[in-house]
A and B are shown apart, each in its own frame.
Chain A
Amino acid sequence: MSKYETVIGLEIHAQLATESKMFCSCSTKFGAEPNTNVCEICTGQPGVLPKINKKAIELAIKTGLALNCKIEPMSVFARKNYFYPDLPKAYQISQYELPIITGGHLEIEIPNEGENSNSRLRKKINITRIHLEEDAGKLVHKGAERIMGSEESLVDYNRGGTPLMEIVTEPDIRSPLEAKIFMEDLAHLLQYIGVCDAKMEEGSLRCDANISIRPVGQKELGTKTELKNMNSFRFVQMGLEAEVARHTEMKASGEKIIQETRYFDTKTHDTKSMRSKEEAHDYRYFPEPDLVTIEPDHKWIEEIRATLTELPEKKRERYINEYGLPNPIAEVLIATKSISDYFEECLKIENKPKEIANWMLVNVMAYLKNKNLDIKDIVFSPRELIELIKLIEKGTISGTAAKEVLIKALETGKNIKDIVSESGATQISDEGALQQIVKEVIKNNPKQVLQFKSGKDPVIMYLVGQVMKESKGRAKPDLVQALLRKELS
């Protein structure tokens, strides 16, 4: 029974990857002791002056360029006035009427709802605007998990003043799944271009949603509610699903939906009203008198555009078309920027995309996943991986031995050449040394030798196996076979 259509618009807050705060030089480092990254400016002491972090502006522009947006020739910071203990100035410096970025879109891939469930549909989600603002401090509630029941609150202002970018989408999203896919793709993009580390669980990427339902075919939007506290990609989908279900039930029973802010209760998996006072939302915005306008010129924008790396979507296409890699492999290689960087670094040394991809995916990535490491965390360099591939090609080591060498290199950080020479994993290509083993195997397996001589040719493989075993895998199987045949003829 789908006579209603879901309409969702998202407001996303992304912490920008700067070293210092938006308007002061305090560090933005996560996890510092409470109230150690605070100064006169970010705690709103009298008489101080904010100063704009240039990098934050650049990262916002970079995002705008990556999302096909318009970079506004002039934008202005404003004061948004309200009282809350996490906001020491009693106003937040934000952009209101004149944001830095407008327009734009992100294309996502959603499952096709037809019979062919495997096919994907491309869909544009339009971006309304992107503006800059500062984050608030962090409230630690004592005595209860949520605001309502706590006895008292403790405030840590370390996060206060951290540069935030708010990305607002048009109400183009039509299902909770679409919202989740959009968030994942956006996170991937932001992380890729290096503007935000985009970890929802750690709060560097946050998502609020405006949601309503309307009869299919109706133009006007239904009454919306705002949903907060969806702090993982999975919870974005789950929270919105719960809210859609609530709206649908209310419509069915003829109840009136009230416009309000709700939060997703991750324990009970339903949404609850925040019951905040509506009259408090009189923000009395006015232009921040302590800051001047931002007017990026063409030259600056082009400089920023030049720092924009190839976007993941483009990269994936290139990996498929230029390197002939299958789509699933290309997808793993573009999963994070550090992986694709590693892959491309290898390619620069030796143009063997398939071998590199194969060794990276099957062995290196499996090891990283197992140890819960990022490719950035290991000392094993692209140069070493190429070294390994070359040794296999030259026949110095066997594929099986190479796997062991690789694991050892990943674990110890030693270089490939040293490991190979220390472990004696090199293949025996010296005929004299092999000859000895071949003779011994023939002597110790008279039954099989007899079978072979009487015409059972496949038995030769058993004998090859025995030689391989004796040589501890260091012999070349084709050479062994040739030697055996010569000896038995």
Chain B
Amino acid sequence: MKINIDQVANLARLNLTEEEKKLYGEQLSNILDHAEELQKLNTDKVAPTSHAIPMKNVFREDKAIPCKNTKDIMANAPEEQDHMFKVPRIIEE
């Protein structure tokens, strides 16, 4: 199955070289081919599943706990101003 590697790269915000496009394009196509193979199976009587293990209703209680690692998290900011992450202006045209 042919994949539009330019579109995929664009959606993932990746800047790929021509060689990379060729390499990853082939690899991703192979994966889709395999999925296509699986599609041939008749699954009419099988409910869709998003999980391998039969689990449901895993919840936590609504309790606020102060965050301790805010310093480490701020350390990830490329640039910081007023304790906020400074990002390039958002261009929407």
Contacts and interface: CB of A to CB of B under 8 A. Distances in A.
Interface of A: 18-20, 25-29, 33-40, 43, 45, 51-57, 74, 76, 81, 83-85, 139-141, 143, 147-148, 150-157, 274-277, 282, 284, 287-289, 291-296
Contact of B67 (A36, A53, A76, A139): A36
A88 B66 CA distance: 20
Nearest to A19: B64
B60 A139 contact: no
Q: Looking at chain B's contact residues, is the secondary structure mostly helix, strand, loop, or mixed?
A: loop
Given A25-B60, A153-B87, 17 more contacts: A19-B64, A29-B64, A34-B83, A35-B73, A38-B70, A39-B67, A51-B58, A51-B59, A54-B60, A84-B90, A85-B90, A141-B89, A151-B89, A153-B90, A292-B57, A292-B58, A295-B56
B57 A294 contact: yes
Most A CB contacts (10 A, CB to CB) among B56, B63, B89 go to B89
A61 to B, nearest CB: 12
Interface in B46-93: 50-51, 55-67, 69-70, 73-74, 76, 81-90, 92-93
B11 interface: yes
Nearest to B61: A54
Interface residues of B, number: 34
28 contacts: A20-B65, A27-B64, A34-B84, A35-B84, A36-B67, A36-B70, A38-B67, A51-B59, A51-B60, A52-B58, A57-B59, A81-B11, A85-B87, A85-B90, A147-B92, A152-B88, A153-B86, A153-B88, A154-B84, A155-B84, A155-B85, A275-B93, A277-B92, A287-B50, A292-B55, A292-B58, A293-B50, A293-B56
B45 interface: no
Contact of B85 (A154, A282, A288): A154
A85 B85 CA distance: 9
Nearest to A23: B60
Contacts of B2: none
A194 to B, nearest CB: 13
A284 B11 contact: yes
B82 A27 contact: no
Contacts of A36: 67, 70, 83
Contacts of B74: 35
B64 A148 contact: no
Contacts of B76: 43
A83 B63 contact: no
Contacts of B59: 51-54, 57
Most A CB contacts (10 A, CB to CB) among B65, B73, B76, B85 go to B85
Contacts of B93: 275, 277
B64 to A, nearest CB: 4
B85 A54 contact: no
A25 B50 contact: no
A35 B64 contact: no
B82 A292 contact: no
Q: Looking at chain A's contact residues, is the secondary structure mostly helix, strand, loop, or mixed?
A: loop
Contacts of B86: 152-155
Nearest to A138: B84
Nearest to B84: A154
B40 interface: no
Q: Shortest 6 CB-CB distances between A and B: which pairs?
A: A287-B50, A55-B62, A54-B59, A154-B84, A27-B64, A25-B65
B50 A150 contact: no
B26 to A, nearest CB: 21
A363 B59 CA distance: 47
Contacts of B88: 152-153
A284 B11 CA distance: 10
B83 to A, nearest CB: 5
A151 B74 CA distance: 21
B69 A156 contact: no
B63 A19 contact: yes
Contact of B60 (A40, A53, A83, A85): A53
A293 B53 CA distance: 11
A156 B92 contact: no
A18 B86 CA distance: 29
Contacts of A151: 89
B85 A20 contact: no
B58 A155 contact: no
B64 A20 contact: yes
Given A155-B85, A289-B50, A294-B56, A139 B90 contact: yes
Nearest to A20: B64
Given A154-B82, A292-B56, A292-B57, A28 B89 contact: no
Most A CB contacts (10 A, CB to CB) among B50, B55, B61, B62 go to B62
Nearest to A57: B59
Nearest to A143: B89
A482 to B, nearest CB: 66
B15 to A, nearest CB: 14
A43 B73 contact: yes
Given A150-B90, A154-B81, A19 B58 contact: no
Nearest to A282: B11
Contacts of B11: 81, 282, 284
A156 B84 contact: yes
